[in-house]
Amino acid sequence: MSASEDRLKNLLVRGLAGDATAYHGFLKDLSALLRGFLKKRLPRTPDEVEDLVQETLLAIHNQRHTFDASQPLTAWVHAIAKYKLIDSFRRRARSDLLTEPLDDALEVLSTNDADAAEARRDIAKLLDGLPERQRLPIAYMKIEGLSVIETARRTGMSESAVKVAVHRGLKALAAKIRNET
Instruction: Give me the residues that bind another protein (CB under 8 A), please.
Output: 15-18, 20-21, 23-24, 27-28, 31, 35, 50, 53-54, 57-59, 61-68, 71-72, 74-80, 82-83, 87, 105, 116, 118-119, 122-124, 127, 141-143, 145-148, 163, 166, 170, 174, 178
Sequential DSSP letters for 10-56? HHHHHHHTT-HHHHHHHHHHHHHHHHHHHHHH-TT-GGGHHHHHHHH
Residue 44 C-beta: closest distance to another protein, Å: 21
Collapsing DSSP states into helix, strand and coil, what is residue 72?
coil
What minimum distance in Å lies between the beta carbon of 43 and another protein? 20
99 vs 147 by CB, closer to another protein: 147
Residue of 65, 60, 68 whose CA lies nearest to 26: 60
Nearer to another protein, 146 or 161 (CB): 146
Q: How far is the CB of 21 from another protein (least distance, A)?
A: 8
Q: What is the largest CA-CA distance in the chain?
A: 52
